[in-house]
Amino acid sequence: MRLLQPVYCLFGKHHRSRGRAWNDGATFRSWCDGCGKPMIRNQSGWHIDSNPIPTGKQD
């Protein structure tokens, strides 16, 4: 985790965790390195998931 990432999250600059990303069969999912919010990848890139699906993958 980057030292300043939690500060970036306050301004909406979330960064996905590469080590915890996975494909759920339809989309790629991960968590933000700074704040731990669920993220989803679409055509325009990675974004905070506004409708997260509980998967039990987060450690």
Residue type, 32: C
pLDDT value of residue 30? 92
Q: What is the pLDDT of residue 6?
A: 80
Report pLDDT for 4: 80
- Residue that is written with structure tokens 């506004």 in the block: 50
Is-above-0.95 flag for pTM?
Answer: no
pLDDT at 8: 84
| Other residues' Cβ atoms within 10 Å of the Cβ of residue 32 | 22
1-22 per-position pLDDT tens digit: 577 888 888 888 888 888 889 9
pLDDT of residue 56: 60
Domain ranges of the chain: 5-48
